[in-house]
Amino acid sequence: MSEPVARIAVIGGSGLYSLFDPAESEKRSIATPYGTASVTIGTLADTTVAFLTRHGVDHSVAPHLINFRANIWALASLGVRAIVSSAAVGGVHPDYAPGTFVLTDQFIDRTHGRADTFYDRGSVQHLAAADPFCPTLHSIAETALGGELDGARVVPTGTVVVIQGPRFSTRAESLWFRAAGAHTVNMTLYPEVPLAAELGIGTVNLSFVTDGDAGLAPALGDEDGAGDEVSAELVFARLAEAQPRIVRAIETVIRAIPDDYEARELIPAHEVAAVLAQQVTA
């Protein structure tokens, strides 16, 4: 592989569609074996960063149609070793109320039909996924952010259940997710996280709780009350309000990642190299 373009990437979830001044960044359309991915290279926290938005700059890509393999392959081809991602989530547990930030460390996959491995032809590799998010990056982010962000609570752990989308949960499903041990619900963190791990990229996720999913998580300061039932309008309004804090949190985490950070080798390096050597398609 050539000299790395960027060793850290930011993947923006709903509400985070740009990160740099257009005059001081470079947009790249990167051909991969799985299709084309759009990546912007710029500077954040005095660091060269590759930025990719999951849903596109106009939020036109539905969760189940995101080309996760193209996105992760493109970042790996640029030399990315660490991903700091943001995500909008609903709270299905009373301790994860709207307005809370969560450093997610576990997921429960409830998606279906998504291409979720690079090793499905010729070479089968079994990814160890007990700790799907990088423990080192998680620890770095927890220390850097502390327990509070601009007055908002930062919870150091959380289990997200990833649903297919684009519809939101029924009340029965929310109750089921809580009973299964989930704290939050999201539509996009799977298969993004294990795909990154397959190519030797560590991930850390900062989620923002926008709502109480089907009304289960109470609002902050109203522990005995019912939460806000999720709607697209509510989610986007709260994301717009929280966006400056989300960006500051991302900057804080990036500043804390040491230059010599290396992700875990969960797949043999020669197998990763073989995937990255595949012929690209326009």
Neighbours of 46 (CB within 10 A): 8
Examine the residue annotation and report whether 211 is marked as an active-site residue of this protein. Answer: yes
List the catalytic residue out of 105, 109, 211, 228: 211
Examine the residue annotation and report whether 213 is marked as an active-site residue of this protein. Answer: yes
Q: How far apart are CA 215 and CA 174, in angstroms?
A: 9
Question: From its phi and psi, is residue 213 left (phi > 0), alpha (psi between -120 and 50) or beta?
Answer: left
List the catalytic residue out of 46, 95, 105, 213: 213
By C-alpha distance, which of 181, 164, 177 is closest to 213? 177
Q: How far apart are CA 252 and CA 234, in angstroms?
A: 27
Q: What's the token pair of residue 275? A: 């995937």
Map tokens 């398609």 to a residue: 281
Q: How far apart are CA 52 and CA 279, in angstroms?
A: 22
Q: Give catalytic residues, as residue numbers.
A: 211, 213
